[in-house]
Structure 1
Amino acid sequence: MSTPPQTGRLSTLAAAYIIARRDFVASLFSRSFIFFLLGPLFTLMVGGLAGGIGARVQQNVERPKLGIAMSEFDVIAMTRARHELAGKLGGAIPDLVEVKRLKPGESFDPAAAMRNPSANLGAIVSGTPAAPVLTGPPGRIENWQGQVELIAAEATGQGPTTYPAVTLGKLAQTTTADTRQGHVVTAQLGQVVLFLLTMLLAGMVLSNLVEEKGNKIIEVLAAAIALDAVFLGKLFSMLALSWAGLLVWGLFGGVIWFGGGHSLNDFPPPAVGWPLFLGLGVIYFSLAYLLLGSLFLTIGSIATTIREVQMWSMPISLLQILNFFFASYAVAKPGSVVELMAAIVPFSSPLTMIARAAQDPRLWTHALAIGWQVLCVALLVRIGARLFRTWVMKSGPQGSGGRRRWWHRPAAAVAGVADRALPG
């Protein structure tokens, strides 16, 4: 007696694992993955060149100088006073450049001298050390008023002849204000890194699905297993591929960083400690990637051309930038309604919670946030699968008047041969 054919379907997780393994292996051993790994090298090269050029430009740009136009004796006295004060105050004292030594009774127009383009003058001091006159733009002369008064007092002998030594009383520990400020710095750094990595890597989901739509592969997979499993599998395969790239970049960068004598102590420690902070960073990056990737996956599934993909993905990217600004603003409002709302909105929640890990040592809030974000990922995947089935595959139950209702559950019956063929 022959055994009847098995017609049972794979579970959603089992089917998603098969799709994820298939896509991950195919992408990992492709030539494009090598170029994907080399991408940050070009970014670092361009950043290094831009930083070097910027530093060279800053070195070549002269800072504004303070011109002086007084009698010969007063010019010598003011120059000597400026030199003595510069030894104590350093860059706080502006550079003093001689504009003109005036003869007795000679008139002088500071405004005309300021119009000289080759002098690089920020202001001009004239008159006498006992009654100096500072001429220049309002903002500049207000900033330099105190320095000019010090130079004039030193030149007239009214300044201090000795400067008492200051004894430094160092605290054994940092103050509460220093600790709080350090937590804010770490929170902002964590948000920036999480946002940049998510925006950089989540776009891979789009190209992957658009390519398979063109080859009709997605329709073959959808005929064999549930679309929810297809979407989940593709999301997790791209997430695993991103983590493979991050692992390579992290190992390479870590060797350079720690080999150069640096350590995590160079940055202010987070409130939960570095091990938990890095662990939460892994979780929140994964969830942020899945949330944004599920949107991109939905766009790639219903778009028919690359042009449509670009038109749909740009508003999503702009909204994600707004979410980043929203989460960044919530950093300055810990415990407020603004932070609570930023933690509830799914796409800003990972950014907000990684900042909270740097500022607040409590962990139970992260358990709630992670559960909420996982639920949002599941809902977005389900909605994306229903939209794809209704708009692209033109399948699903008919509503009244012949209209399709995407919220109805589609027919689950598929050929048993497709169920048995996919795992092999």
Structure 2
Amino acid sequence: MMGRLSGLAAAWVVARRDFTAILFSRSFFFFLLGPLFPIVIAVLAGSLGSRVDASQERLLLGVAMGTGEVRKLEQARNQLAPALDDELPRLVVIGRLADGERHDPAQTLASRKANVAAILTGSLAAPVLTGPDGLIEAWQGPVAMLAAQARSGQPIAYPAVALEPVARSNATDRKGRFATAQGAQTLLFLLTMMLAGMVLSNLVEEKGNKIIEVLAAAVPMDAVFLGKLFAMLGVSLVGIATWAAIGGLLWLGGGISPERFPDPAVGWPLLIGLGVIYFAMAYLLLGSVFLTIGSMATTVREVQTLSMPVTMAQLMVFFFASFAMTQPGSAVEIAAVLVPFSSPFAMLARAAQEPALMPHVLAIGWQALWVLLLVRGGARLFRSRVMKSGPAGKVKRSGRRFSRRL
């Protein structure tokens, strides 16, 4: 065959070439190990944080009142403890005052002689709470309850509350679906941010050894870009499938019941399917832009320099989609759906909250249209800005030889 390959055939050849080259390389094994390190760090950080929280002492409330009032407060604390122990501060007596005697709580707190966070003075009828602003505001209600119970002097008999559980309620369904939408959106963002960045350096090596010139002469540049995008998408999907299989085995081994997780509006099977589709759309949309930006770079150092603004742009898209998720049906959500880069995130969140399916068909078609436009625009920019040097006859002859080998 002396002519150039058709667009789809050329894209398939380029995608197959890149996919097999990456999948059977040694670096792909280390690529699969990539998420292991942040997971290990997160587990260690969570374990360390729980131990630090457990080792911290509970804040204490010092009491400096008359002897009789101190005794009544302690009795009230013991009476309320069975029902409200976690909400009530623990009391430490730092002064039993005689009639007419005064205590300076500010001086005691400043001297650090007593290991208390705040001090309660005054009387049961007019208690005074001294301490840090945020803490005394949080303790204002519990202290008022203690003082009222101490003044009454009568123990409170709490009735036994009968529990009648139901499967679900409308409010819990909305809350659970919102949590599912938030989790799905966050997972989609993390996967896209972690995997789409690889496209930035995809063309640097081939530009250096002149392979891209041979490809450009042999096949349409649009097909080269499209083939490379789908090759990287295929590699990413293989990685995600591997991680999902390992995670599923660990999940089953841990005995975690699926009933503990709230059901999305469209159901779990359809949500997972839409998640895969929207990941592919988000990857292709961002990847087409990253491939264009990376094709303009000449060295790996330039690609590393571009990584920071690219990451910031991804974060802005995620924050926009996350805010739109909290405003269902508003102009903000419609804008997030229409903007192509935030559309996959906004629509995946909507799938968890709304059962309608037709909007997803329209959104996927809209996103696919933008993928084609971005790929064609990136290919034209690459041809006009980068592919300007070299004898045309030499490049064409190299392209014909490459076509015959294909």
Match of 2:368 in 1: 374
| Matched-pair identity in % | 58
Match of 1:178 among 172, 176, 179: 172
1:278 shift after superposition: 0.3
Match of 1:255 among 225, 237, 249: 249
| 1:270-285 alignment runs, 5 A limit | 270-285=264-279
Letter in 1 for 2:157: T
Structure 2 CA distance for partners of 1:119 and 1:14, relative to 1, 3 Å = farther
Residues 296 and 313, structure 1, Cα contact 8 Å, conserved in 2: no
1:118 shift after superposition: 6.2
Letter in 2 for 1:420: R
Match of 1:124 among 119, 123, 131: 119
Structure 2 CA distance for partners of 1:264 and 1:76, relative to 1, 3 Å = same
1:117 shift after superposition: 3.5
Match of 1:195 in 2: 189
Residues 229 and 284, structure 2, Cα contact 8 Å, conserved in 1: yes
| 2:225 paired with 1:231 | yes
Q: Distance in 2 between matches of 1:92 and 1:199?
A: 42
Match of 1:58 in 2: 53
| 1:332-351 alignment runs, 5 A limit | 332-351=326-345
TM-score (norm 1): 0.89
Q: Which fold has the larger relative contact order, with Cα–Cα distance below 8 Å and residues 6 or more apart in sequence?
A: 2
| 2:404 paired with 1:420 | yes
Q: Distance in 1 between matches of 2:145 and 2:231?
A: 67
Q: Distance in 2 between matches of 1:412 and 1:215?
A: 17
Q: Distance in 2 between matches of 1:74 and 1:67?
A: 13
Q: Distance in 2 between matches of 1:305 and 1:293?
A: 19
1:63 shift after superposition: 3.5
Aligned partner of residue 115 in structure 1, secondary structure: helix
Residues 66 and 121, structure 1, Cα contact 8 Å, conserved in 2: yes
Residues 67 and 123, structure 1, Cα contact 8 Å, conserved in 2: yes
Moved more, 205-214 or 291-300: 205-214
Q: Distance in 2 between matches of 1:163 and 1:271?
A: 40
1:414 shift after superposition: 8.3
Match of 2:80 in 1: 85
Letter in 1 for 2:148: A
Structure 2 CA distance for partners of 1:56 and 1:118, relative to 1, 3 Å = farther
| 2:249 paired with 1:265 | no
Q: Distance in 2 between matches of 1:414 and 1:339?
A: 50
Q: Distance in 2 between matches of 1:9 and 1:131?
A: 92
| 1:10-25 alignment runs, 5 A limit | 10-25=5-20
CA deviation profile, 1:152-191 (whole Å, cap 9, x unmatched): 2333344443222223344x34222221222111111111
Residues 79 and 156, structure 2, Cα contact 8 Å, conserved in 1: no
Q: Distance in 1 between matches of 2:213 and 2:191?
A: 31
Q: Distance in 2 between matches of 1:52 and 1:116?
A: 35
Q: Distance in 2 between matches of 1:365 and 1:120?
A: 60
Name the count of aligned residue pairs.
402
1:275 shift after superposition: 0.5
| 1:13-412 alignment runs, 5 A limit | 13-117=8-112, 119-170=114-165, 172-394=166-388
Residues 7 and 415, structure 1, Cα contact 8 Å, conserved in 2: no
1:131 shift after superposition: 4.1
Moved more, 226-235 or 115-124: 115-124
Unaligned runs of 5+ in 1: 1-5, 397-410
Residues 299 and 313, structure 1, Cα contact 8 Å, conserved in 2: no
Aligned partner of residue 202 in structure 2, secondary structure: helix
Q: Distance in 1 between matches of 2:156 and 2:308?
A: 66
Unaligned runs of 5+ in 2: none
Q: RMSD over aligned Cα, in angstroms?
A: 2.2
Q: Distance in 2 between matches of 1:222 and 1:188?
A: 43
Aligned partner of residue 30 in structure 2, secondary structure: helix
1:80 shift after superposition: 2.7
1:104 shift after superposition: 4.0
Letter in 2 for 1:52: S
Residues 150 and 159, structure 1, Cα contact 8 Å, conserved in 2: no
CA deviation profile, 1:223-276 (whole Å, cap 9, x unmatched): 211111111111111111111111111111111112211143322111100010
Moved more, 154-163 or 330-339: 154-163
1:132 shift after superposition: 2.9
Structure 2 CA distance for partners of 1:370 and 1:182, relative to 1, 3 Å = same
